[in-house]
Amino acid sequence: MFDLIVIGAGSGGLAAAKRAASAGKSVALIENDSIGGTCVTYGCVPKKLWHAISQFRHQATIATHHGWSFNAPNFNWAAVQSRLSDYVTSLNQRHEQKCLDLGIQITRGTARIASSTSIEVNGDIIQGQRILITVGGKAVRLPIPGGDLCDTSYEFFSWPHLPPSVVIWGGGYIAIELASILNALGATVDLVIRQDKILRGFDEDLRQFLQDRYADRGIRIHDKTTIASVKKAANQLTVTCENGTVITTEKVIQAVGRVPCTDSLNCDEVGIQTTQNGAIIINEQYQTSVPSIFALGDCIDQVQLTPVAIAQAREWVDLVLVNKKFPVDYTLIPTAVFSHPEAATIGKTEAEAKATLKNVSVKTLKFNPMTMALTEQHKEPIFMKLILEGDDEKVVGIHLSCDGAAEIIQSLAIAMQKGITKDDLDLTMALHPSIMEELVTIY
């Protein structure tokens, strides 16, 4: 009998399996796809590379204002796709090797929980004192007429060529990131969102700012509507929206959220309670309604972010297997949308702060960075917003949109974690000329 069976080798499952094995526990890891999960194989890693790859076209345009000239640049989708796929495979293999080096037993297959201490995979039974479910999530596919003609982010990563036109359905992280990548590579992009603005849940001004930047870059946003049907004729798809808009396109991507991947686990039979969308219900120790079975990461449907799943895994292993406390603070989670320009944020939005705190003040800045001074039409303004609370003006939110915003917010997260105030910013020596000197001289 193993000390621990981990079902799902994504960010949370791998972190838990490796930490438990490093602490001397015997671990069985079950996975029905590549080792690394969504983040490594179909999410963060290939997305971030596509984000970087796609920047060049815009940078090349800016460069022409800086004296450079290019012969028509040519982008080879197939070549980069193949290099990227090799890189992802190498990461999958690296994760697998690390597990093997730690003595983790890896079984390929789909696990079905057979009892409170056993699972069945490929017809075999594996027993463990504890079972940890880290099966992650999968893309929602809305059942509209022609829904089967649509792709999701999963298929995007293996498209054989860059389509000339793409309709993206949804206004969340995935929709916004894919829209930006495809637009930057030269595809015509139509975004269909049911709200009036993209990125519900982000600060209202940041949402508007980014939406305006998207429009500037030629992304067509069809707001306050949704897709009613998709039809195929020859090699084209015809998308009809509920407001009557008709769009002809080569590809449609549904990016309308993700749901926990728990269907095949046999939760009902073994008494693991789930919510209506299949999320596993847990207590504060990540324990399900079956005491020896635990769950964390995207399949509990709380915060669907890789660093959060990893932190939960470390916290859980230390708490339950090592009997030690791994302190994690989930109140300040930095997050970024890898769009062009990037949008990154930490802490409360203005609306959240005003609804939950007293004496809130807000400082907002929009400006053109010096590096864009020589360009004519291609201005890239920067958005910066500080949310302050109380007489000592504690910083409770920072919202930023500019190239490199994710890196900047990660650094500011350390200061936020330490509870900085506006005074601390005022006392910080500016670095000139830089974008972020504006943050420490804002008044």
Residues recognised as catalytic: 432
Q: Alpha helix locations (H) across 186-241?
A: 204-216
Torsion over CA: 130, 318, 45, 331 (sign): positive
Q: How far apart, in whole angstroms, are the C-alpha atoms of residue 439 and residue 428?
A: 10
Q: How far apart, in whole angstroms, are the C-alpha atoms of residue 316 and residue 292?
A: 13
Contacts to ligand NDP by CB under 6 A: 142, 170-175, 177, 193-195, 200, 226, 255-258, 304-305, 335-338
In angstroms, what is the minimal distance from the CB of 210 to ligand NDP?
Answer: 13
**Nearer Cβ to ligand NDP (180/274):** 180
CB 226 within 8 A of CB 238: no
- Cα maximum dimension of the chain: 69
**Nearer Cβ to ligand NDP (142/431):** 142
Residue 219 has what DSSP assignment? Answer: -
Q: How far apart, in whole angstroms, are the C-alpha atoms of residue 252 and residue 214?
A: 18
**Nearer Cβ to ligand NDP (36/171):** 171
Three-state secondary-structure class, residue 70? coil
What are the residues facing 127 on neighbouring strands?
118
**Nearer Cβ to ligand NDP (52/142):** 142
Q: How far apart, in whole angstroms, are the C-alpha atoms of residue 287 and residue 41?
A: 28
If we measure between CA atoms, which residue out of 252, 84, 81, 66 comes closest to residue 168?
252
In angstroms, what is the minimal distance from the CB of 335 to ligand NDP?
Answer: 5
Give the number of other Cβ atoms within 10 Å of residue 434's Cβ. Answer: 12
**Nearer Cβ to ligand NDP (91/140):** 140
CB 440 within 8 A of CB 423: no
Residue 371 has what DSSP assignment? Answer: G
In angstroms, what is the minimal distance from the CB of 319 to ligand NDP?
Answer: 24
In angstroms, what is the minimal distance from the CB of 29 to ligand NDP?
Answer: 23
**Nearer Cβ to ligand NDP (143/160):** 143
Run of H or E residues at 121: strand 118-121
